[in-house]
Amino acid sequence: MGLLERLADVQRRIRLAAERVNRNPEEIKLIPVSKYHSIEKIQTLLKAGIYDFGESRVQELREKQSQLPKDVNWHLIGHLQRNKVKYVVRMPNCKLIHSVDNLRLVQEIQRRCELEDTTMDILVQVNVANDDAKFGILSGEALEFVKKVAEFDRVKVKGLMTIVPEVDDPEEVRPYFRRLKELSEEIRKAAIPGVEMAELSMGMTNDFEVAIEEGATMVRIGSAIFGPRK
């Protein structure tokens, strides 16, 4: 199966997963994870109407965004070090940081946004599985963390993100996706000024259909679209 065939297959699976739970498939944004993949593959997807891409490494993101059209929407989905924040804030088409999980990072984003006279949309990364191998704040700390982030006027909380453990049976991680949705509702009900819970970034190649059934608005798909890395 080629790149466009894999894309079509993923789009079909997104549509079917949404329809199973009476959701509109248009509510779900597909974010192909293009890390370690070529500019040429991204250009092929652009021609197919895909304009959102996820990158994990700031250096690779900078290199790619300099070679591609300005209307590409870049999503930083990997762990962000504070010393790289300045590069992300300066990118006009880096639309969303999915992986914010500590106040020192928030402070640096605020500082850099003030210097550039801009704002940055973020998602708060939650470690719903309490997995020592994953970044993210713990579920029980999420509400208070979001309240603290809301005090920074240049940092705009748009929702939550999680990365769940890799398992053979995606049903095993359904409770984690459900928990993130519940957290989102709890935070929404708290009505924190300036905070939106519009986005739930959850679900990857092995489990995105279950994530959609549990409320994902963004799915981050790598190998199901690009194929295995050489």
Which pLDDT value is given to residue 131?
A: 84
Q: What is the pLDDT of residues 172-200, one digit of tens each?
A: 999 999 999 999 999 999 999 999 999 99
Provide the 3-class DSSP secondary structure of residue 135: coil
> Is the model's pLDDT at 13 over the cut of 80?
yes
pLDDT at 133: 82
C-alpha dihedral sign at 183, 177, 81, 53: negative
76 close to 89: Cβ distance less than 8 angstroms: no
Contact indicator for 183, 146 with CB cutoff of 8 Å: no
185 residue type, one letter: E
pLDDT at 21 over 90: yes
pLDDT of the residue at 105: 98
Start-end of H helices in the chain:
3-20, 39-47, 58-65, 85-90, 103-116, 142-149, 174-189, 208-213, 223-226
**Residue 45: its pLDDT value, please?**
98
**Among positive and negative, which fits the CA dihedral 57, 221, 209, 187?**
positive
| pLDDT, mean over the chain | 97
Q: Give the model's confidence band at 230: pLDDT under 50 very low, under 70 low, under 90 confident, else very high.
A: low
Mean pLDDT of 59-87: 96
CA-CA distance, 218 to 106, in Å (whole number)?
Answer: 22
Q: Can you read off the two tokens belonging to residue 157?
A: 């909380």
Angle at 87 between CA 85 and CA 89, to 5 degrees: 70
Reply yes or no on whether the pLDDT at 150 is more than 90. Answer: yes
Q: Output 104 or 1, whichever has higher pLDDT.
A: 104
Length of the chain equals 230
> What's the pLDDT band for 81 if we cut at 50, 70, 90?
very high
Quick one: average pLDDT of 138-166?
Answer: 98
Structure tokens belonging to residue 218: 């963004």
Which residues lie across from 161 on neighbouring strands? 125, 201
Helix H segments across 32-173? 39-47, 58-65, 85-90, 103-116, 142-149
Q: For the segment 90-123, what is each residue's pLDDT rounded down to a tens digit?
A: 998 999 999 999 999 999 999 999 999 999 999 9
CA distance 183 to 181: 5
Domains, the chain, with CATH or none:
3-226 (3.20.20.10)
Percent of the chain with pLDDT over 90: 95
